[in-house]
Amino acid sequence: MAIHGASSPLSFDSGISVFAGEEQEVTGDLSASSPNLTTEQSDTLAQRYPMAAFMGTNSFIDAPLDRLSPVGWIREYHNWTFNEIENDVLEYNRWNGYWDFDKFYSDLKAQGTMVCPVVWGSPSWLQPTHNDRPVVGDEDPYNPNSYREIAEMMYQYAGRYGSTAVDLSKMMVGPGQVAKSGLNLISYLEDWNEQDKDWEGEKAEFRPGHYAAMASANVDGHCNTMGDGYGMKNADPNIKFVMGGLAGLETDYLRSMKTWFENNRADSAWP
């Protein structure tokens, strides 16, 4: 197998040639075993390192499952208002099952595909503009408590789809919806998307301290100082927090976040 690009190749003993060009083309017979391996060795490697484990894609709930089956990982763009159209009224089965998130995640798990919902976008009952930071009203964006509404949403989502059962009386659902918990369908939750973007106005851009404050709230209710029902790990301690993907490659952004955590969290740690 070879990977073709615009520059000179760097060859490795594996027989795969890697090029540094911006565009690459992969050619070869993916079903063929390496001539240097026995059938037993090849089967063992395929089981240990399946190709799907190295492949992922962005997706939505309405993507056909058969189109997602070749990859092992789905980054599901998940608008907050998909579930919480009204404050504290959550829906997981929409339009008589046209969108059924329980089924969507169950089907992905059954076919061996991991999924990480990317929860983002301020609902209209919180902010007038969808891309604005999800603070309550005009509260301080450097204060974790200003992000209590999305921290509550993270608790609810982790409580339903994570691996730990939460008292159902704490699960907020709308009319006709069924409260559930500990479904064990997701292990990761991503917090917003491209939060460093600067092209949609000042209120849409998270400075490092803004995002660190929201992350602190969304992970564990800012070291459990916000009360019961806030932060994904307070619903499911096993769930993994995934930082929202940045639009740029600024390592200073991460350093500034680390400084905020050190100065503002009781444990001085990156949550």
What are 78's strand-pairing partners? 119
Q: Are 82 and 99 in contact (CB under 8 A)?
A: yes
Residue 250: its pLDDT value, please?
81
| Of 254, 257, 252, 175, residue with least CA distance to 210 | 257
142-201 tens-digit pLDDT: 999 999 999 999 999 999 999 999 999 999 999 999 999 999 999 999 999 999 999 999
Question: Quick one: pLDDT band at residue 39, thresholds 50, 70, 90?
Answer: low
The mean predicted confidence, pLDDT, of the chain is: 87
6-22 tens-digit pLDDT: 433 333 333 333 333 44
Q: What is the mean pLDDT of residues 109-128?
A: 96
198-224 tens-digit pLDDT: 999 999 999 999 999 999 999 999 999
Joined together, the tokens standing for residue 233 give: 């790990």
Question: Quick one: pLDDT band at residue 25, thresholds 50, 70, 90?
Answer: very low
CA distance linking residue 129 with residue 255, whole number of Å: 29
Checking if the pLDDT of 37 tops 80, the result is: no
The H-or-E segment that residue 52 falls in is none
Residue 12: its pLDDT value, please?
32
Checking if the pLDDT of 5 tops 80, the result is: no
Q: What is the mean pLDDT of residues 62-68?
A: 93
Among 37-46, 72-81, 245-254, the range scoring the smallest mean pLDDT is 37-46
